Amino acid sequence: MHNIYLMIMVMALVTYFIRALPILLLRRQIRNRFINSFLYYVPYVTLSVMIFPDVLTSTGMLWSALAGFGTMLVLSFMKKNMFLVALASCLVVFLTETLVA
């Protein structure tokens, strides 16, 4: 194993560089309609892509993950707050896993 502190530093630098470059360089308001539209849609698309299908393998079994996923979709659609959505989804997963197992 290489020096582990050096490796951690390299990881941190690469990750910071990725995050900081756009924020430090794009300081003026962009006027281009396409770019503005693109940046407006980015959160919805990228977070959706990250959630599914990974959420299905985030627990111990597919059934509990499906139950939790359904819970978070319904409650979010009802505009419940983030804390409640997270708590309810965890609870549903826990109950499903203890009942099914």
Partner 1 sequence: MSRNSDVLRGMRDAVPVGLGYLAVSFAFGLAAARMGIPALSATLMSLSNLTSAGQFAGVGVIAAGGGLAELALTQLVINARYFLMSCALSQRIATHAPLWQRAVVSFGVTDEVFALSMAAPKPLSPHYSFGMMGVCIPSWTLGTALGATLGGVLPAPLMNALGIALYAMLTAAIVPPSRDNRLLRFIIVLSMAVSGAAAVLPVLSAIPKGLRIVLLTMVITGWAALRHPLEEAPDA
Residues 63-82 that bind partner 1 (CB under 8 A): 64-65, 68-69, 71-73, 75-77, 79-82
Write the CA distances from 84 to 64, 67, 81, integer angstroms.
18, 16, 6
CB of 58 to partner 1, least distance (A): 5
CB of 33 to partner 1, least distance (A): 5
94 lies in the binding site for partner 1 (CB under 8 A): yes
Q: Which of residues 32-51 bind partner 1 (CB under 8 A)?
A: 33-51
CB of 96 to partner 1, least distance (A): 9
**DSSP character string of 61-94:** SHHHHHHHHHHHHHHHHTT--HHHHHHHHHHHHH
